[in-house]
Amino acid sequence: MRGHRHSEAVSEAAVAEFGDSELVILARRGEAAAFREIMRRNNRHLFRAARGVLRDDLEAEDVVQEAYVRAFQGLAGFRGDASLSTWLTRIALNEALGRLRRRRNTVDLAAVEIAQEGGGARVLMLPTAQAGGDPEGAAARREIRRLLEEAIDELPEVFRLVLVARDVDGMSVEETAQILGVRPETVRTRLHRARRQLRAALDQRLGDTLHEAFPFDGARCARMTEAVLARLGLDAPAPSG
């Protein structure tokens, strides 16, 4: 694709009206406007999918860029069996999971998933304002952490102790039962109720504001889009206005 330009480039305004199938046809011809529009429609979704796996903004951004490059270079392989968004998301998730496996090569992810489905511990990662993060993201993480801690603190003690032991500290059912002096069945029952109450409390506190978690601003969207276009040799500047 590098260096390719169609003789009659399609305008940004025109591609905004096209469906996915039309965008794919134009992208296969090397139209920069089509690539940009595909990314504009999918950037937020792919970023949050990768972010959900990796829990790191910068790495998730890198994953999305790599996923786009792989997808666009292999666009001939897109058959339309699934939607374009689904196809792109699968590529991004595979890339993110691959990085997670390389990062934690001693962890059997399948075993972890089976354990969770079977009632295993689901450790709550309390958000922190990491050094080097963007100010908006750090502020969002601080606020989410505050709301989460408040909601946990307000649980009845019998539920709170089980939830903290299992979901925050990552203790096993048996360890929690020994510490609290109750039967393992009691731990499971209390944990189920604690999670249900916590979920309800957070729903009440957050409401629609939960959708604003891990902000995805215009600057990040534009940065990722232009970086991908540059890697594909289609780094024509976006039109002003």
**Is a pLDDT exceeding 50 seen at residue 131?**
no
Residue 33 within a domain? yes
Under 8 Å between Cβ of 38 and 78: no
Do both 90 and 139 map to the same domain?
A: no
How far apart are alpha carbons 238 and 241 in whole angstroms?
9
Give the range of the structural domain holding residue 45, as residue numbers without chain letter: 12-115+216-231
61 in Cβ contact with 47 (< 8 Å):
yes
> Domain check: are 104 and 123 in the same one?
no
At residue 6, the pLDDT reads 42
**pLDDT tens figures, 35-47:** 999 999 999 888 8
Q: How far apart, in whole angstroms, are the C-alpha atoms of residue 160 and residue 177?
A: 14
Identify the weakest region by mean pLDDT among 10-14, 108-112, 117-121, 150-154. 108-112
- Asked if 160 and 153 touch (Cβ cutoff 8 Å), the reply is yes
Interhelix angle 135-153/184-206, rounded to 10 degrees, is: 130
Residue 29's CATH number: 1.10.1740.10
Question: Which is nearest to 170 in space by CA: 219, 124, 131, 104?
Answer: 124
Residues of the chain with pLDDT > 70, as a percent, come to 74
pLDDT tier at 59, thresholds 50, 70, 90 = very high
pLDDT of amino acid 175: 83
Please enumerate in sequence order all residues whose Cβ is within 8 A of that of 170, keeping only pairs 6 or more positions apart, or say none. Answer: 121, 123
Confidence of residue 186 (pLDDT cuts 50, 70, 90): very high
Residue 45 lies in a domain: yes
Rounded-to-integer distance, Cα 109 and Cα 171, Å: 18
The verdict on 105 and 124 lying in the same domain is no
Residue 57 CB: number of other CB atoms within 10 A? 21
Classify each residue of 142-165 as buried b or exposed e, where b means 16 or more C-beta atoms within 10 Å of its C-beta.
eebeebbeebbeebeeebbbbbbb
pLDDT average, residue stretch 79-85:
85
Tell me if 5 is assigned to some domain.
no
Q: In this structure, is residue 238 part of a structural domain? A: no
Q: Both 19 and 97 in a single domain?
A: yes
Q: Using only C-alpha atoms, what is the Rg of the chain? A: 22
The reply to whether 67 and 138 lie within a common domain is no
Its pTM stands at: 0.55
Instruction: Give the HSE-up count for residue 143: Cα atoms under 13 Å, Cβ half-sphere.
Output: 14
Q: Do 176 and 193 belong to one domain?
A: yes
Residue 24 has pLDDT above 90, yes or no: yes
pLDDT tens per residue across span 102-115? 876 534 444 434 44
CATH number at residue 145: 1.10.10.10
Is the same domain home to 133 and 192?
A: yes
User: What does the alpha-carbon distance between residue 88 and residue 75 come to, in Å, rounded to a whole number?
Assistant: 10
